């Protein structure tokens, strides 16, 4: 196994699996499709990437500091269905059986926990498994996103180059400033009225950051300058909502995330209670491992 840390953005994966897969139930009528989908992704990561370290992050099921600052934050998103809430609990139980630590913190989103872990593990290559574009901002030379594009089957590795392609040449760290200017309807981030994506990209590429823009207002044409002055408070407030926290207080220790400490029999027994016969077979596969030439191919593809 390589010195890589894989971080699962668990709620993102579970939501995608819940909506992408047909409903699955045990004989006791417990819904399981989201848990099943999560571990399809889990085994795929183990088999192909073979990381040395693994952990998972969850959204805490309560309002965050962002909701306290802005009551309409993510207001357009529907509430989590009860059928999915139960499967989130089951996924945590399964991770415990696998001896994979998971993290959550009241007042924060999984994105904040992920960004904090990435910040705490400088020098270690990291792969974040997620379908959330908000995490693109934490990408750097050490951190990539294993991005779930549609459902859980179509995936793409996102690095700095891919971010530049998607955001008109911007750096990942500039994404919060970009969204602060033009807003983000998916999270109900207001942004500035009158500034679209193209204008936001042009401003950031020219002046590098919001601070750079406001230090050079005299260089900006009058009509746009007027918008920037009028919307300044909203723009900086929007950036606060968008930007991930990197200093959340969590009890994180990289060595505790070393994968492989689980008892195969315990995992098999747990999967039997969920009637995951095909996943039990995949459990046998990950214990077998990859051939060296396949592992080298994936390493070249990732880093």
CATH topology of domain 166-242: DNA polymerase; domain 1 (1.10.150)
State how far the Cα of 199 lies from the Cα of 284, in Å rounded to an integer. 53
Q: Domain map of the chain by residue range?
A: 2-163+245-293, 166-242
What local confidence, expressed as pLDDT, does residue 233 receive?
97
| Average pLDDT for 152-179 | 94
What share of residues in the chain are helix, strand, coil (percent, to 5)? 55, 15, 35
Q: Check whether 196 has a pLDDT greater than 50.
A: yes
What local confidence, expressed as pLDDT, does residue 298 receive?
38
| Average pLDDT for 145-169 | 91
What is this structure's pTM? 0.92
* SS3 call for 237: helix
Give the residue among 92, 96, 93 at the shortest CA–CA distance from 104: 92
| Average pLDDT for 66-93 | 93
Q: Sort residue 183 into left (φ over 0), alpha (ψ -120 to 50) or beta.
A: left
Q: At 136, list the tokens.
A: 């693109």
A 10 A CB-CB count for 78 gives 5
Q: At 108, list the tokens.
A: 């924060």
| Average pLDDT for 110-129 | 97
226-244 pLDDT tens trace? 999 999 999 999 999 999 9
301 or 19, which is more confident: 19
Architecture of the structural domain at 2-163+245-293? 3-Layer(aba) Sandwich (3.40)
| Average pLDDT for 60-79 | 92
136-152 pLDDT tens trace? 999 999 999 999 987 78
79 touches 34 (CB < 8 A): no
């Amino acid at each position: 196994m390589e010195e890589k840390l894989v971080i699962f953005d668990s709620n993102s994966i579970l939501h995608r699996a819940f909506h992408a897969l047909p409903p699955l139930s045990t004989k006791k009528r417990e819904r399981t499709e989201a848990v099943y989908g999560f571990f399809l992704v889990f085994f795929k990561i183990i088999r192909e990437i073979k990381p040395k370290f693994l952990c998972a992050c969850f959204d805490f099921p309560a309002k965050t500091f962002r909701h306290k600052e802005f009551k309409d934050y993510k207001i357009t998103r529907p509430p989590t269905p009860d059928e999915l809430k139960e499967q989130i609990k089951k996924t945590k139980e399964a991770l415990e059986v696998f001896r994979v630590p998971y993290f959550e913190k009241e007042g924060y989103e999984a994105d904040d926990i992920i960004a904090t872990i990435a910040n705490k593990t400088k020098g270690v290559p990291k792969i974040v498994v997620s379908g959330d574009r908000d995490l693109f901002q934490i990408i750097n030379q050490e951190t990539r996103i294993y991005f779930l594009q549609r459902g859980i089957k179509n995936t793409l590795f996102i690095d700095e180059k891919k971010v530049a392609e998607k955001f008109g040449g911007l750096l990942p760290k500039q994404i919060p400033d970009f969204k602060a200017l033009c807003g983000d309807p998916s999270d109900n981030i207001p942004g500035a009225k009158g500034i679209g994506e193209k204008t936001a990209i042009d401003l950031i590429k020219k002046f590098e950051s919001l601070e750079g823009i406001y230090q050079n207002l005299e260089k900006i044409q009058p009509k746009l300058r007027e918008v920037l002055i009028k919307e300044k408070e909203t723009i900086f407030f929007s950036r606060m909502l968008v930007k991930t926290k990197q200093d959340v207080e969590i009890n994180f220790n990289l060595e505790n995330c070393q994968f492989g400490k689980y008892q195969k029999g315990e995992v098999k027994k747990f999967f039997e209670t969920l009637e995951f016969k095909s996943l039990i077979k995949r459990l046998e596969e990950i214990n077998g491992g990859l051939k060296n030439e396949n592992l080298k191919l994936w390493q070249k593809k990732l880093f």
